[in-house]
Amino acid sequence: MLLLFTGIVSMLCLPLSVVGAADVRDALIYKMEILIPPKEGRDETADILQIENTVADLKDIAVIFAFKELGRPRIVLVLEVEKACSWPQLTSFLSRKGYEYSVVPLSLCSDYAHGLGVKLPHDLWTYSFKDGNLTMVTKIFPVGDLTTTEYDERLKLTFEQDRSILETGQKGACFRVLAEYPVKLVYFAPVTPTQIQAIEKILLAPGMYENEATRIENLASYTAVCQGD
């Protein structure tokens, strides 16, 4: 994964005439996951605070989301990278500290849905969540014996369901993982028990996709509590 990531960064540091504007545009958003491995004498809270401060000071890299998985020392970041050559300011820090990390490029689900013929306006999504019950859901769409048309129809139906859910007032954000096949979508959303029941009714379609849900919290909320604020 790290070799692939290094290759991506190297390509993006080339002039636009070499890489192509479309590729650069698609690679502006990334999901980074950072795992702090257990180590004798390690202060996990102090490490997480240092990561938060380092991320906040990044140049040419804007933080869209910063979450911590509940019950695990794993941080999930969604970053908008203005200049890909700025990556070393973060990756060098992580490597020096001995943290494990992975990076995947993302694109907005609205853009992907538009390409499939589904109108899913950008302003339906939310890119800032209050503290509360937050979740990260990864949907993987198996290909099976579906034709390309049937596969696209399955994705279109999913985005139409997303639109219906968002129009009820549910908040959320959605990204497609680029260069992944079968298609993988990543959602972030606040979810209450009542909302879960409503969503389950809409999404009652066994076999359409595989779900993996992870409870998360805003990184700032975690670090604020740990500092006694």
Whole-model pTM: value is: 0.83
pLDDT (tens digit per residue) in 158-214: 999 899 989 988 899 999 999 778 999 999 999 876 666 655 555 555 567 788 889
Task: Indicate if 94 and 132 belong to the same structural domain.
Answer: no
Task: Name the stretches of the chain with pLDDT < 70.
Answer: 1-27, 193-207, 225-229
- Say what the pLDDT of residue 175 is: 97
CA 59, 61, 64, 68: dihedral to nearest 10 degrees? -80
Q: What is the pLDDT of residue 33?
A: 97
> Same domain, yes or no, for 40 and 135?
no
Does residue 227 lie within any of the structural domains?
A: no
Residue 199 covered by a domain: yes
Angle at 209 between CA 206 and CA 213, to 5 degrees: 100
CATH number at residue 58: 3.30.70.1060
Residues 158 and 212 in one domain: yes
Structural domains in the chain (count): 2
State the pLDDT at residue 194.
63
How confident is the model at residue 86, as a pLDDT?
A: 83
Q: Is residue 206 part of a domain?
A: yes
Closest alpha carbon to 120 in 157, 149, 86, 163: 163
Angle at 176 between CA 171 and CA 180, to 5 degrees: 155
Which H, E and C letters describe 68-133, residue by residue? Answer: EECCCCEEEEEEEECCHHHCHHHHHHHHHHCCEEEEEEEEEHHHHHHHCCCCCCHHHCCCCCCCCC
Residues 95 and 119 in one domain: no
